[in-house]
């Protein structure tokens, strides 16, 4: 037994040393597999002028994280009163962590939250009213609808960072095979012309290629949910109205039937999980891909991929799409001075968000989106148009739970276990049950 | 006659080895796939054996993830939980076995009852306690709730019960304190039991999933078990990197297994007997 | 084993306290207290303290008309019912093989036992990649041998999804039961087998009439342990199928997790937890009754 004790203790010691060495790399690493430079030094300012450090939680990984970190490093190099330490938290348990921090009143000094999550977090009473924090921010610089999005009952709970929406990526090379151009796609303003395009693409793809690339399998079928959402809202339908589910109305059911129809016609292949869907388009194996603007940075890393991106056309009625926003929130338990520093930091990042735009998101400040630098970025200026086409989620405390339920049931209909109407009726039942 | 028996024996032996290989197959696949180049198709024989091998994946994992940190976390937490847990259990079991005191039966019953209660059923109120203590995202929050293990107490008590009382009487006649009795007599005697239990509990703690998932959300606090799926979800059509991560995470376990096989077996047999 | 009264100088309450205190402190605070606290929480609504309101039996009433609850409970019971016999039978089979005198026996023992020390994330990851359509091992091997012509969507069909979970669990836990059963096998005196072969019994008869009855105590325990472990099912569906497709592979523990940490309904989640605990205790008690009767 002594042997084991000695062994265990010495191993722990060894591990401590190793962890200590790798700790210095910690700040420049994240949990994603990136080609991030491990020698990325953390810019710390002169200790004489630094009063302390703000802890900044983000759910970002991969490219998003790299861009945000770039901006944070730049911020820190301006020798601010409080430097910022950016933390990359695992996405799967991010909001468990946020809720845990808010409820226990101990955690980050500033954090990223989706605008659609605000309704869930506000009841913790730990989201600081931004207007009560001293600042010299010119709120006119911000996009009005985004500001409206973070304001509930006249209280501003967060600072907008960006909007990101579902768009359509297309592969020029595959389009060419079917004698199609981007204009053809853009002018597909009704179901008939859209289906004609899909039909034209089917014969020109090989066995391991896809006409439509939309994730529809595995533990995360959110792309499928968003695609349904886009089709439903284009037709004037909806998802939730207050605490009432309206997704099982006619437009909703029809939207789901359309997705199933695409599968049956062979345009959509089943068994594609979320991660695979990105890889498939990136490696040039899909003609069309519906996903968020954030995929732009990822797709650009493949120089052999000849692709374009545009707002999803008005396939099913009006040209509308899905979208959400990232925002900065500051917890109430953070003390006054740090709150001011956090707010200053958030606004600074927003002013320099051209870098963030490289990730594909549309920055919240008009000064940025109207700037030459931004407009010169490829594709990005188109995205600004998309922002106006977004039909945002309604504000609802149980929204994300509802999304989870909806995505699961939509998937159940997609794989053929039940009909669309049945699935959406069930969704209404289950979602309204948790809303009470 | 003997020939048929010989043939029978050979056939059965081959069959048995085949069965063993089948059980080993997933691990062997994982092993080979981790040394293949990124995005190799490892589902064909050609892909597995006909393409080049490389250690690039290992390099990439070490460079771009906090895998050392996660391994350390797992080790640290498992070591503390098993070592300290055994200590506490041994002390408690000693009292229950050797000392007579009022309320002993009640205490024993309370501990026995705890055997039936899984952490899965307590996760909700436990989380509330951790929140109230502000221990979310801390090592104490990860380690302390699992430190008191009724199973260990029961096993120790059963063993201690079998130690002859004469030893104790002899010691008391020599004027030894009760603490001395525990430290110098019972502890050394239970060496085998202790080491087996230690390894068994170490493995259990290492494999914990639900609790670290809830409490350790900082990437610098995650254990290997919780961080692995997060890391692997960043790969989608490549199979080799996830396998490399799996192998990386399994090496400590496999080493423990090879060195401490006997103790592990003993530990399992003991929990059965409880 | 009787603990004879020893010298009264050792029977001091103070000493007992010192020995017991550290354990009981942690045990009381992190096991007993949550047990009661959870019970109280189950009669309230709220989010872990925020917006807490006493609602009496409302949560329990809600649970009994909650389709989701029945679904999750059935899923857990379904898993217990199919996995327990499989794991115990295979455990026994492998125990017999490993305990035999054939040359490969030890190899099988090690190969079967090895998965037990691996973490659940490794196990589920390997098996997910075995079952994954398009890029996974199984489908491609089956296609290459010509057994199937189309990809099997292992995760898009609830029966297939359960299969993946069960196979992974089997592979992971057979070793544990095997070890216990080997210990049990080794406790059976050789003389019994020798005597019976003199009487002309063949292997099968020996197995049925000597091995099995002698193992009955150990088997009962293995079965109980396996049942309890299956009730706690969480990691495998969570990491392999996400509880899907739909909710078809979502067990009770996942439902509790989602209610508490996704819907932030800690009161109702407590109610569900208590129900699970209650059912587990009932099952264990019924099991004990059943197995006791047999002995009499």
- Kindly provide the ipTM of the predicted complex, given to two decimals: 0.88
pLDDT tier at A32 (50, 70, 90 boundaries)? very low
For residue A15, give the nearest of B76, B137, B236 by CB distance.
B76
Q: Is B239 on the interface with C (CB under 8 A)?
A: yes
Give A54's Cβ-side CA count (13 Å radius): 30
Helix-, strand-, coil-residue percentages of chain A, each rounded to 5: 50, 15, 35
Q: What 3 state SS string does C180-193 have?
A: HHHHHHHCCCHHHH
B130-171 pLDDT, tens digit per residue, is 999 999 889 999 999 989 999 899 889 988 888 888 888 888
The residue ranking higher by pLDDT, C190 or C44, is: C44
Burial class (CB in 10 A: 0-12, 13-18, 19+), A295: buried
Q: Does B42 touch chain A (CB under 8 A)?
A: no
Give how far C38 is from chain B: nearest CA, Å: 5
Q: In whole angstroms, give the CA distance from residue B121 to residue A209.
A: 47
Tell whether A417 is within 8 A of chain C (Cβ): yes
Size of interface A-B (CB pairs under 8 A): 128
Residues 6+ apart with CB under 8 A from A209: A174, A285, A286, A287
The reply to whether B72 touches chain A by the CB within 8 Å rule is yes
User: Are B124 and C225 an interchain contact pair (Cβ–Cβ within 8 Å)?
Assistant: no
pLDDT value at residue A243: 87
In degrees rounded to 5, what are phi and psi of residue A55?
-95, 125
Task: Round to whole Å and give the CA distance between A427 and A405.
Answer: 7
Asked if residue C296 has pLDDT above 60, the reply is no
Inform me whether the C-beta atom of residue B203 falls under 8 Å from chain C C-beta atoms: yes
Q: What is the DSSP string of A112-140?
A: EEEGGGHHHHGGGT-B--GGGS-----GG
Residue C69 tokens, joined:
């609850």
Q: How far is it, in rounded angstroms, from Cα C46 to Cα C50? A: 6
The distance from CA A311 to its chain's CA centroid, rounded to whole angstroms, is 16
A34, A39, A104, A217, best to mutate vs chain B, most B CBs in 10 Å: A104
CA-to-CA distance for C243 and C256, rounded, in angstroms?
Answer: 12
Q: Which of A103, A404, A429 sits opposite C262 (nearest CB)?
A: A404
Per-residue pLDDT, averaged over C87-109, amounts to 90
Q: What is the DSSP string of C240-279?
A: HTTT-STTTT--HHHHHHHHHHTS--HHHHHHHHHHHHHH
DSSP A361-419: -EESBHHHHTSHHHHTSTTHHHHHHHHHHB-PPPP-TTHHHHHHHHHHHHHHHHTTSS-
Q: What are phi and psi of B216, to 5 degrees?
A: -95, 75
Q: Give me A51's structure tokens.
A: 């009063």
Q: Both tokens of residue A192?
A: 């008939």
Average pLDDT, chain C: 89
Q: Which listed CATH number (3.40.190.10, 2.60.40.420, 2.60.120.10, 1.10.10.10) goes with A166-323+398-434?
A: 3.40.190.10
Query: Which of A272, A411, A429 faces C244 most closely, judged by CB atoms?
Result: A411
What domains does chain C contain, in order, with CATH numbers?
62-290 (1.10.3720.10)
Neighbors of chain C by Cβ distance (3+ pairs < 8 Å):
A, B
Contacts of A408 in chain C (CB under 8 A): 243-247
Report, as an integer, the average pLDDT of A249-275.
91
Distance (Å) of CA A257 to CA A59, A216, A261, B196, C177: 34, 14, 6, 59, 48
Task: Give B-chain residues touching A103 at CB under 8 angstroms.
Answer: 131
pLDDT at A31 over 50: no
Chain C interface, mutation test: which of A218, A263, A276, most C Cβ atoms within 10 Å? A218
Using 50, 70 and 90 to split pLDDT, how confident is the model at C191? confident
Could you tell me the pLDDT band of residue A47, with boundaries at 50, 70 and 90? Answer: very low
Mutate to test the interface with C, among A213, A222, A413, A415 (most CBs of C within 10 A): A415
Which residue segments constitute the domains of chain B, with CATH numbers given? Answer: 66-271 (1.10.3720.10)
Q: What are residue C64's phi and psi, to 5 degrees?
A: -70, -15
The whole-angstrom separation of Cα C11 and Cα B169 is 12
Q: Do A404 and C158 touch (CB under 8 A)?
A: no
CB atoms within 10 A of CB B238: 23
Highest-pLDDT range among A364-373, C184-193, C255-264 = C255-264
Q: Do B231 and A31 touch (CB under 8 A)?
A: yes
CATH superfamily of A2-161+325-388: Periplasmic binding protein-like II (3.40.190.10)
Are C88 and C222 contacting, i.e. CB atoms less than 8 angstroms apart?
A: yes
Q: Does A10 have pLDDT greater than 80?
A: no
A12-29 pLDDT, tens per residue? 566 555 555 444 344 333
Domain ranges across chain A: 2-161+325-388, 166-323+398-434
**Global pTM exceeds 0.80:** yes
Interface of C with A (CB under 8 A): 47-51, 66-68, 132-135, 151, 153, 155-158, 241-247, 258, 261-265
Query: What does the pLDDT average to over A324-337?
Result: 94
Cα B199 from Cα B266, distance rounded (Å): 10
User: Under a CB-based contact definition with an 8 Å cutoff, are residues B173 and B184 in contact?
Assistant: no
Residues of B in contact with A23 (CB under 8 A): 69
- Mean pLDDT score of chain A: 86
**What is the average per-residue pLDDT within B94-114?**
87
The most distant pair of C-alpha atoms in chain A lies apart, rounded to whole Å, by 77
Distance CA B44, CA B40 (A): 10
Domain pair A2-161+325-388 / A166-323+398-434, same fold: yes
- List the single residue in A19, A100, A276 with the smallest CB-CB distance to B136: A100
Cα angle at C13 between C7 and C16, to 5 degrees? Answer: 85
Which site among C59, C161, C242 would you substitute to test the A interface, given the most A Cβ atoms closer than 10 Å to its Cβ?
C242
Contact between C153 and A220 using a beta-carbon 8 Å cutoff: no
């Amino acid at each position: 037994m002594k042997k084991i004790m000695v062994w265990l203790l010495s191993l722990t010691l060894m591990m401590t040393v190793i962890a200590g060495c790798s700790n210095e790399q910690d700040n420049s690493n994240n949990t994603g597999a990136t080609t991030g430079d491990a020698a990325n030094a953390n810019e710390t300012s002169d200790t004489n002028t630094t009063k302390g450090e703000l802890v900044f939680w983000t759910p970002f990984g991969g490219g998003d994280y790299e861009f945000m970190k770039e901006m944070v490093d730049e911020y820190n190099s301006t020798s601010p009163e409080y430097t910022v330490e950016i933390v990359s938290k695992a996405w799967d348990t991010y909001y468990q962590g946020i809720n845990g921090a808010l409820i226990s009143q101990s955690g980050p000094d500033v954090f990223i939250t989706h605008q659609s999550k605000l309704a869930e977090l506000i009841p913790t009473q730990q989201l600081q009213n931004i207007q009560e924090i001293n600042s010299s921010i010119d709120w006119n610089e911000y996009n009005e609808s985004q500001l409206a999005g973070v304001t509930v009952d006249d209280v501003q709970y967060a600072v907008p960072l960006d909007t990101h929406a579902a768009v359509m990526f297309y592969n020029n090379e595959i389009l060419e095979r079917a004698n199609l151009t981007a204009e053809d796609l853009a002018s597909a303003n009704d179901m008939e012309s859209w289906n004609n395009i899909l039909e034209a693409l089917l014969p020109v793809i090989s066995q391991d290629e896809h006409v439509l690339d939309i994730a529809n399998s595995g533990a995360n079928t959110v792309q499928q949910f968003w695609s349904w959402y886009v089709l439903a809202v284009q037709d004037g339908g909806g998802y939730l109205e207050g605490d009432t589910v309206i997704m099982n109305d006619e437009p909703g059911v029809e939207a789901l039937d359309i997705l199933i129809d695409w599968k049956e016609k062979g345009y959509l292949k089943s068994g594609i999980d979320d991660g695979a869907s990105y890889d498939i388009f990136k490696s040039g194996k899909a003609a069309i891909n519906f996903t968020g603007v954030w995929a732009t940075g990822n797709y650009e890393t493949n120089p052999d991929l000849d692709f374009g991106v545009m707002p999803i056309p008005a396939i099913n009625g009006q040209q509308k799409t899905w979208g959400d926003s990232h925002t900065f929130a500051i917890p109430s338990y953070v003390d006054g001075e740090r709150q001011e520093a956090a707010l200053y930091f958030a606004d600074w990042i927003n002013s320099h968000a051209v870098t963030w735009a490289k990730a594909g998101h549309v920055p919240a400040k008009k000064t940025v989106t109207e700037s030459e630098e931004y407009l010169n970025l490829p594709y990005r200026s188109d995205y600004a148009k998309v922002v106006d086409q977004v039909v945002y989620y309604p504000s609802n405390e149980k929204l994300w739970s509802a999304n989870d339920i909806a995505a699961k049931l939509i998937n159940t209909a997609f794989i053929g276990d039940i009909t669309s109407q049945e699935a959406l009726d069930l969704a209404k039942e289950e979602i309204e049950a948790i809303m009470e | 006659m003997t020939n048929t028996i010989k043939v029978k024996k050979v056939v059965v032996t081959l069959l048995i080895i085949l069965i063993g290989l089948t059980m080993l197959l997933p691990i062997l696949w994982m092993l080979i796939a981790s040394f293949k180049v990124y995005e190799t198709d490892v589902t064909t024989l050609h892909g597995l054996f006909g393409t080049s091998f490389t250690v690039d994946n290992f390099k990439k994992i070490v460079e771009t993830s906090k895998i050392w940190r996660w391994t350390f976390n797992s080790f640290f937490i498992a070591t503390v939980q098993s070592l300290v847990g055994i200590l506490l259990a041994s002390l408690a079991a000693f009292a229950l076995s050797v000392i007579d005191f009022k309320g002993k039966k009640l205490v024993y019953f309370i501990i026995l009852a705890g055997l039936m209660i899984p952490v899965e059923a307590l996760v909700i109120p436990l989380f509330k306690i951790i929140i109230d203590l502000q221990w979310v995202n801390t090592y104490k929050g990860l380690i302390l709730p699992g430190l008191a293990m009724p199973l260990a107490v029961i096993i120790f008590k059963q063993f201690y019960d079998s130690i002859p009382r004469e030893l104790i009487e002899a010691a008391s006649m020599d004027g030894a304190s009760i603490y001395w009795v525990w430290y110098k007599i019972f502890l050394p005697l239970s060496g085998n039991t202790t080491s087996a239990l230690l390894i068994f509990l170490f493995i259990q703690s290492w494999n914990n999933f639900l609790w670290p998932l809830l409490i350790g959300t900082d990437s610098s606090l995650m254990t290997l078990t919780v961080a692995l799926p997060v890391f692997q979800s960043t790969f989608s059509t490549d199979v080799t990197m996830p396998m490399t991560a799996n192998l990386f995470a399994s090496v400590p376990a496999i080493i423990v297994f090879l060195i401490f096989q006997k103790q592990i077996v003993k530990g399992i047999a003991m929990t059965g007997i409880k | 084993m009787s603990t004879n009264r020893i010298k009264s100088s050792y029977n001091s309450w103070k000493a007992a306290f010192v020995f017991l205190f550290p354990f009981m402190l942690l045990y009381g605070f992190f096991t007993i207290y949550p047990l009661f606290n959870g019970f109280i929480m189950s009669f309230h609504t709220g989010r872990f303290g925020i917006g807490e309101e006493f609602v009496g039996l409302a949560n329990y009433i809600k649970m009994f008309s909650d389709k989701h609850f029945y679904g999750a409970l059935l899923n857990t019971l379904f898993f217990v019912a199919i996995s327990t016999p499989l794991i115990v039978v295979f455990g026994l089979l492998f125990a017999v093989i490993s305990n035999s005198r054939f040359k490969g026996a030890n190899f099988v023992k090690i190969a079967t036992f090895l998965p037990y020390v691996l973490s659940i994330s490794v196990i589920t990851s390997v098996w997910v990649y075995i079952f994954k359509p398009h890029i996974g091992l199984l489908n491609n091997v089956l296609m290459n041998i010509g057994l199937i012509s189309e990809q099997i969507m292992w995760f898009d069909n609830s029966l297939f999804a359960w299969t993946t979970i069960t196979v992974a669990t089997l592979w992971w836990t057979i070793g544990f039961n095997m070890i216990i059963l080997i210990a049990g096998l080794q406790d059976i005196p050789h003389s019994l087998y020798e005597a019976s072969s003199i009487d002309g019994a063949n292997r099968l008869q020996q197995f049925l009439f000597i091995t099995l009855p002698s193992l009955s105590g150990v088997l009962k325990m293995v079965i109980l342990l396996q049942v309890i472990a299956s009730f706690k099912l969480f990691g495998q569906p969570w990491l392999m199928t996400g509880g899907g497709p739909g909710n078809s592979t979502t067990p009770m523990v996942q439902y509790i997790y989602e209610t508490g940490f996704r819907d932030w309904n800690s009161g109702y989640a407590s109610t569900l937890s208590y129900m699970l605990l209650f059912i587990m205790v009932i099952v264990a008690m019924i099991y004990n009754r059943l197995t006791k009767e047999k002995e009499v």
